[in-house]
Amino acid sequence: MINKLGAATVFASMFFSSGAALANDADTIAKMDMEITAWVEEFIGEHFQTNQISLLKDIGMQIAIARNCDGLDLDEDKLADLLGTALEGHDSGDADYQVVRASMQMSLAAYMATGQAVHALNPELFCEMGEAEVGSTEGSSETIVLTMAE
């Protein structure tokens, strides 16, 4: 079992100390994405399956898109349903339920921060990707929570 508080501290310092480098280096973004995914898998892997972790990554990125791109919003009902899906297999009566929820929230925050870094690198492309995802009929549309703002 890893020291989760220590891992969270290292993780947070990694984000907040390297912001300038993130905005200038696409390789740094790709490396950060891989490292964050590995960190999340180590951090919450005992509580979540790979498909649930992938869902959290997808949701976190879409939240970042909606927060940073004009004209895009979130379907809050669908988002709530998907977060419920990510918690499948965990019951609020479980002894470790609060740890599971906190782990999920930290993982979402990590993926949202990754999206923020990608936005800093290329805001126009980042928002175009979000618009394309809204209009996409390929892949798994049941995991798309982005909508066009009204």
The CA-atom distances, in angstroms, between 26 and each of 21, 53, 97, 111, 118 are 9, 23, 37, 16, 8
17 pLDDT band (50/70/90 cuts)?
A: very low
Give the Cα separation of 136 and 148 in Å (integer).
12
Residue with tokens 């990608």: 118
What would the pLDDT profile of 46-95 be if each residue is shown by its tens digit? Answer: 788 888 888 898 899 999 999 999 999 999 999 999 998 888 888 888 88
145 pLDDT band (50/70/90 cuts)?
A: confident
The CA-atom distances, in angstroms, between 147 and each of 31, 35, 128 are 29, 29, 13
> What local confidence, expressed as pLDDT, does residue 19 receive?
45
